[in-house]
Amino acid sequence: MIDPRDIPDSQLVLYADDGYDSHVVRFLLAEKQLKYYLSLLDSERPEDLRQLNPYNTLPVLVHRDFSLYELNVIFEYLEDRYHGHKLLPDTPKSKALQRQLAWRIQNDWLKLGRILLTHKDSLNPDQAKIARRKLSDALVTLAPIFGNSSYFMSDDFGWCDVLLGAMLYRLEEMQIELPAHLIRPLLEYQKRIFERESFLRSIE
């Protein structure tokens, strides 16, 4: 584990694993074109990590003399601190609507995704089947809206797309197979996200 004292004060340091949340932050950092030190940790959590995050979870973003470990807080900090490559629109109304969409994605879709990704070893088959069906049905039902604009309900790439891109990348891991003939707009959207330079950098 990198000792933050060995890193210049102005440099961002990300402690991460191969999970969904860490992928989101890596995608976010790449999209905002921010340089950072990456420390990849396996299932073992060094004791030093607890000094940065009392919950002992990943990811943890360290900057100067403080650490952040909640996904939305990390996003808001980077969005406010680094004004280039903004992922929220300019007006208060538009920002609020985008934040609300992001909240709905996390509450409606990612909650199911987390069940399948985070608790996959402890889930009983019935719980897993229900979560997969609910998430699959939601994606199939809402697939047409992905054809209305270049990105998620917007012509501009934003925070919602970062959240969705990392989730859609893990559909196979969640053992979700969607009927291609019913989700063409979603597949085209997914292709746009996966071919984005920032996304490719986030999975290196």
Q: What is the pLDDT of residues 84-143, one digit of tens each?
A: 899 999 999 999 999 999 999 999 999 999 999 987 777 788 889 999 999 999 999 999
Which residue is it, tokens 């501009």? 156
What separation in angstroms does the CA of 191 have from each of 29, 65, 112, 169, 185? 20, 39, 22, 10, 10
Tokens of 21: 């949340």
- pTM for the model stands at 0.92
Structural domain count of the chain: 2
Within a domain: residue 125? yes
Domain closes at, from 81, 103, 119? 81
Judged against a pLDDT cut of 70, whether residue 154 lies above it is answered with: yes
**20 and 65 together in one domain:** yes
pLDDT single digits (tens) 173-204: 999 999 999 999 999 999 999 999 999 999 99
Domain containing residue 113:
92-196
**Using CA atoms, how far apart are residues 150 and 79, in angstroms rounded to an integer?**
22
Percent of all residues in the chain with a pLDDT value above 70, rounded to a whole number:
94
Within a domain: residue 178? yes
